[in-house]
Structure 1
């Protein structure tokens, strides 16, 4: 056995687990991103840290460096309902970040005892007759192999390990599309957009470092067309789009039932979005990546006799919380219920304009 644990993916979930595992464990960590810089793989993401993610930093005793922050920091979300033409403003305490720099910074917190392979890709995982796992992966273009006891899937929505463990399980997926433009709006803002004519999920926009980002989660089959339709439908609301600087796309999971949350089996564990731990109402996953990684780290550090049973039990509150987000999503994506909430003006903050 070459390693005790192999972690596939070093996003917020994988990097946090690698950081929290005790030094006595032999850990291999594979990550598609390069060690530094703007080249190579980057995770498409709006880049907002929700309050639950911020709370994790408090528990970890970790401070966020200014190098990962984006400009500006905005304290409200303008919510648009294109069915009713209602617009409301809600206070939010998101932290605006550069997601790629944030991910690279999380990797710098991993101790030197972890064997990190940057710019690497897991190609194949095979379970041997003795219960250990044989990994084939590329490391900067070179083929490598390793034998490990435990494998942890922190490889996101399109998780190789989730597909391997549960080939017949179907979970709701959306095509997430983001386009970046030079920001021409006189006042930077965040927005949350509901438009059941183009998606039964939601869309978003934000200002970031001089750019304006418009994104949304759309049906897999016609997502590109629906995204262009959304841009047209937003023009009457003073949304300004110029030339496209770049377009980003990725698959995003959206759980719809308790059985969509899969913790793993047979000495393979799933954390973060690979486990389905993502909010159905906001598609926020960083806080759940932190939480699931923390729970699993305690179990593996304790060398628990029945780690899968312990992980299943340890994530129960997390899964129940996420089920509540499924219920919330059903309410917010219903035009009738959403309209009633927005008309009530609950939590709405009136905007005053100073002359």
Structure 2
């Protein structure tokens, strides 16, 4: 084998695994993004670090550099139900940050002994004796390497997952996000429910003099539903104007236990590639960290059957995500959401 481990994708899951693996391993890591700047793959993520992800930083003994943080830091989320015209404020302890800079920073923490290949696209993974043959394009050139283990950290549209589980379909939405010049007098976060536009949800965030609006929509009419929802929100005081940029990508939406696939036969799936994302909030960074940490501990200790160990040690993680699926069904069901919001539980009213 050319390498012990091949990591496909260097988002939060893949970059964290590459950083935590022992130096005894010969590792190659393939990533779409470039090494610096704003070029490369930009994911339509709002860029909010949730509490569970913050706990991971405590375990990793890491601190966020200030150039990743963005303004303002807001402590509540304004929740809109367009069916009932209810609006509620709920306290949240998110950290507002630049997602693209965050991903590049996580990559910068990868030890120098890891063979990081940027601007690459994995084309094929084929089983061979004692491992796998990985075919990829790097800067337009066709290349082939071999590795004993393969880790799919390649996100919602994971090629590794599709190769390993060709007959399994995992529900996906299209996440669309647009950036605008901030024109609201008071910056805010929002969570928006409108079952006529999507049975998932939408969001808005104020960030460094920009107003970001995004949402997850059914694939067939994603662009249409996105624009229709913008029109509805303009009637609720949202100010858009001309988009500065638009971002788009698929996002997985787990609905059941068997939507979580962790791999087998020396292939492992971590982060969103494994279906590890909250169905209720689409937050995936904390689960990317958790799954990468679990797998690194298994591989570093040379456990005899690493696939079995990874399956067993992620059961707690999958149970937690199963609870998020139940929560998602509650908050995306109009009558139940209305009851929750009308109860005013945890709502903080603005001072008039």
- Provide the secondary structure at the position in 2 that maps to 1:244: coil
How far, CA to CA, are the matches of 1:43 and 1:6 in structure 2?
23
Q: Deviations over 1:101-125 (max 9, x none)?
A: 0000001111111111111111111
**2: CA distance, partners of 1:341 / 1:181:** 32
SS in 2 for 1:265: coil
| Residue 303 (structure 2) aligns with | 304
Q: Does 1:240 align with 2:257?
A: no
Counterpart residue number, 2:315: 316
The CA distance in 1 between the partners of 2:194 and 2:134, in whole Å, is 44
**How large is the RMSD of aligned CA atoms in angstroms?**
0.8
Give the Å deviation of 1:44.
2.0
Q: Distance in 2 between matches of 1:110 and 1:44?
A: 24
How far the C-alpha of 1:270 sits from its partner, in A, is 0.2
Tell me the distance in 2 between the aligned counterparts of 1:217 and 1:123: 27
Runs of 4+ residues over 6 Å off in structure 1: none
CA distance in 2, matches of 1:206, 1:43: 15
How far is 1:39 from its partner?
A: 1.3
In structure 2, C-alpha distance between the alignment counterparts of 1:143 and 1:38, rounded to whole Å: 25
Residue segments in structure 2 that go unaligned for 5+ positions in a row: none
Cα deviation code 1:256-293 (max 9, x no counterpart): 00000000011110000000000000000000000000
1:146-168 deviation line (CA, Å, top 9, x unaligned): 11000000000000000001111
Instruction: Give the match's secondary structure for 2:244.
Output: strand
SS at match of 1:198: coil
Compute the TM-score of the two structures, normalised by the length of structure 2: 0.99
Residue equivalent to 1:31: 31
| Alpha-carbon offset, residue 70 of structure 1 | 1.1
Distance in 2 between residues matched to 1:131 and 1:257, nearest whole Å: 33
* Corresponding residue for residue 289 of structure 2: 290
2:42 maps to which residue?
42
For the residue of structure 2 that corresponds to 1:217, the secondary structure is strand
**Counterpart residue number, 2:155:** 156
TM-score by length of 1: 0.98
- Secondary structure, aligned partner of 2:169: coil
Offset of residue 348 of structure 1: 0.4
How many pairs were matched up? Answer: 352
Residue in 1 that maps onto 2:5 = 5
Give the secondary-structure state (helix, strand or coil) at the position aligned to 1:221.
helix
